[in-house]
Amino acid sequence: EVQLVESGGGLVQPGGSLRLSCAASGFTFSRYWMYWVRQAPGKGLEWVANINQDGSEQRYVGSVRGRFTASRDNAKNSLYLQMNSLRAEDTAAYYCARVAADGNFYYMDVWGKGTTVTVSS
Amino acid sequence: DIQMTQSPSSLSASVGDRVTITCRASQTISNFLNWYQQKPGKAPKLLIFAASSLQSGVPSRFSGSGSGTEFTLTISSLQPEDFATYYCQESFTTPIIFGQGTKLEIK
């Protein structure tokens, strides 16, 4: 079964750090771009970051650039999101998602169940 | 950045109704447009990619159309399990942008 399972969320104080993990199974992880997407309580979806197949290329939404770092370990079939200098507005459910491709078209075809990050004092 | 605007933001409908949700892009995105369904407390689920391609396993009552700046998601005959929030998402550029969502509720 193709599956993504996030972990590492929790309660952290403003200015603190947290590292999220996403464990992939049931597919060849190293062949896929991966995304992190978040959803603040009661709000819509926001793309946070992406990372290419070998981890050499990452892109970020402006609000997290310089604070968050996406990485991956293909030998461990794992994706990570290192989050530093956390702010209250980073409070959200964080999802990892697999990026499928059909020619030039890219879409998120597999999602994890999410892990919740709460930034509060 | 591209802006994606969905309408309506919420919609009440009955089982068996035909429903259409619109997504407009602030600039042309060809057909680089995906649709997702999200139920409360759950992860989003891909319905449509490339504006009109139905994801494997998704019922055929879901369809997508459009190109350029205007797109639609249509549910031909609402079923009880279709009451959820729907998001469009452009895949034309980075940052990737989602619409604000359309909440589909039971009338």
pLDDT in tens, A77-96: 999 999 999 999 999 999 99
Q: Which residues of A touch B43 (CB under 8 A)?
A: 95, 111-114
Contact A20, A6 (CB under 8 A): yes
Q: How far is B107 from chain A (nearest CA, A)?
A: 21
Q: What is the DSSP string of B1-26?
A: ---EEEE-SEEEE-TT--EEEEEEES
To 5 degrees, how large is the angle CA A8–CA A13–CA A14? 110
Q: Note the pLDDT tens digit of each residue in A15-44.
A: 999 999 999 999 999 999 999 999 999 999
Does A41 sit behind a cis peptide bond, omega within 30 degrees of 0 on the bond before it?
Answer: no
Compare all CA atoms of chain A with the CA of B94 and give the residue at the minimum distance.
Answer: A59
- Per-residue pLDDT, averaged over B28-49, amounts to 97
The answer to whether residue B95 neighbours chain A at the CB level (below 8 Å) is yes
- A21 close to A114: Cβ distance less than 8 angstroms: no
